[in-house]
Amino acid sequence: MICDVCRAREAEVYQPHSGKRLCRKCFIEDVRARVKEESLKIGLDKANKILLAVSGGKDSYVLADTLASFIDPQKLIAYNITEGIHGYNRREQIEQLRKYLSSLGIELIEDSFKQSVGYTLDEMMKYSIGKGLNVSACTFCGGFRRKLINNAGRAVSADYVATGHNLDDEVQAIVINLIRGDLLRLIRFADKPIKLSSKFVLRVKPLRKVYEWETTLYAYYSGYQFQELECPYISTRPTLRAKVRELLYMLEDKKPGTLLTILEEFDKLAEKVRNQTQLKDELPTCKICGEPTSYGREICKNCELLISAGLLNYHQNLPMS
Ligand code: SF4
Ligand code: ZN
Ligand code: ZN
């Protein structure tokens, strides 16, 4: 079968959402074109510096590769965090990532929870369980990761922080926030990000219109040596996401293109809601770490977690040894 786009090479990929059969080259070009379109819409091409939050998984490689195909790599800087999860964080994986990024001309900054928070994720969990808390590792991990990525973006004076979230991740998050009825959080998932604090670097997701199966195939065709190990804490993840994921796959299977339609319709709706919503003032800052926190809070969720695990002394404002 011949590729529907170039009409020259053999087709290897069937794209259910477009109904097209594509050769490898046209498939790669198609993904890059969608990432470029989304990025131009946000204005990434006009940025002076973009921090890429890279985990070492397949989406990080695809993010760096697609952005470097139309943005000067000198304007891109990658940032990786080692969470400190025994058996999961591996040195060779970071070296592999560094080698690949360097081949694209992108520098990599390395950080870790141990270095910037004072504890590895395993240590946080050990203390948290010791105190009888019932908080999942992902709550600690996600919260501190967001904070450190934002700090890193500010430190390098980035105009944007780009993450490797794909279409599947994005639609799952939208549906979860719809179920929770969190409007303010919900409109933050729209294509044009909003800034609720001068301390926030705008977060963007250039892969948000690319299906997960496409990032997997892109990574496979490109021969990336990405991290394939599963995090040992994944089984403790909140179950709502798994259920929503299952439901969305069922819908996509019955009607290919459903995820894309949901996202596109959501973007239109979010634009209207945003125009009619009176955004509140600047977010308050945490009394301990000085970073933005939710309205009505004096201490951010991250500092609160450390205090409850007995890892931070509120009065001395220092990690406890
Ligand atoms: Fe962190 Fe949870 Fe992801 Fe593991 S599964 S890396 S703990 S967010
Ligand atoms: Zn082709
Ligand atoms: Zn704080």
pLDDT digits (tens, 9 = 90+) for 171-201: 999 999 888 887 777 777 777 777 888 999 9
Q: Please report which confidence band the pLDDT of residue 38 belongs to, taking 50, 70 and 90 as the band edges.
A: very high
- Is residue 31 lining ligand 1, measured as CB closer than 6 Å? no
Residue 153 has pLDDT above 90, yes or no: yes
Average pLDDT, integer, range 218-225:
96
Average pLDDT, integer, range 43-64:
96
Residue 59 has pLDDT above 80, yes or no: yes
Ligand 1 pocket: which of 54, 113, 234, 239 to mutate (most atoms within 8 A of CB): 234
Residues 6+ apart with CB under 8 A from 77: 49, 50, 51, 52, 106, 107, 109, 156, 158
How do residues 261-270 score in pLDDT, each as one tens digit? Answer: 999 999 998 8
Q: Are 202 and 150 in contact (CB under 8 A)?
A: no
Q: Are 66 and 32 in contact (CB under 8 A)?
A: yes
What pLDDT shows up at residue 320? Answer: 54
Q: 185 — phi, psi (to 5°)?
A: -70, -40
Average pLDDT, integer, range 215-232:
93
What pLDDT shows up at residue 282? Answer: 87
Ligand 1 pocket: which of 59, 235, 237 to mutate (most atoms within 8 A of CB): 237
Residue 226 has pLDDT above 80, yes or no: yes
Q: Is 8 exposed, middle or buried (0-12, 13-18, 19+ CB in 10 A)?
A: exposed
**Centroid of ligand 1 to alpha carbon of 231 (angstroms):** 6
Q: Which of 117, 58, 51 is nearest to 83 (CA)?
A: 117
What pLDDT shows up at residue 317? Answer: 54
**Centroid of ligand 1 to alpha carbon of 266 (angstroms):** 27
Ligand 1 atom showing the smallest separation from residue 121 Cα: 7
**Centroid of ligand 3 to alpha carbon of 282 (angstroms):** 16
What is the residue with the minimal CA distance to atom 2 of ligand 1?
Answer: 138
What pLDDT shows up at residue 164? Answer: 97
Average pLDDT, integer, range 56-66:
97
| Beta strands 312-313 and 76-82, pairing class | unpaired
End-to-end CA distance of the chain: 65
How do residues 303-312 score in pLDDT, each as one tens digit? Answer: 999 999 999 9
**Centroid of ligand 2 to alpha carbon of 32 (angstroms):** 14
Mean per-residue pLDDT over the chain, rounded = 93
Ligand 1 atom showing the smallest separation from residue 55 Cα: 6
CA 104 to chain centre: 21
Q: For residue 8, give the amino acid letter.
A: A
Q: Are 157 and 50 in contact (CB under 8 A)?
A: no
- Is residue 202 lining ligand 1, measured as CB closer than 6 Å? no
Q: Please report which confidence band the pLDDT of residue 274 belongs to, taking 50, 70 and 90 as the band edges.
A: confident
Q: Are 23 and 11 in contact (CB under 8 A)?
A: yes
Ligand 1 pocket: which of 169, 231, 239 to mutate (most atoms within 8 A of CB): 231
- Is residue 81 lining ligand 1, measured as CB closer than 6 Å? no
Ligand nearest to the CA of 317: 3
What is the residue with the minimal CA distance to atom 3 of ligand 1?
Answer: 138
- Is residue 233 lining ligand 1, measured as CB closer than 6 Å? yes
Prediction pTM value: 0.93
Which residues is 80 bridged to in the sheet? Answer: 110
Average pLDDT, integer, range 112-116:
98
Q: Please report which confidence band the pLDDT of residue 233 belongs to, taking 50, 70 and 90 as the band edges.
A: very high
Average pLDDT, integer, range 255-281:
86
Residue 81 has pLDDT above 70, yes or no: yes
Q: Please report which confidence band the pLDDT of residue 253 belongs to, taking 50, 70 and 90 as the band edges.
A: very high
The rounded percent of the chain whose pLDDT value lies above 70 is 96
Q: Please report which confidence band the pLDDT of residue 280 belongs to, taking 50, 70 and 90 as the band edges.
A: low
**Centroid of ligand 3 to alpha carbon of 301 (angstroms):** 7
What is the residue with the minimal CA distance to atom 8 of ligand 1?
Answer: 138
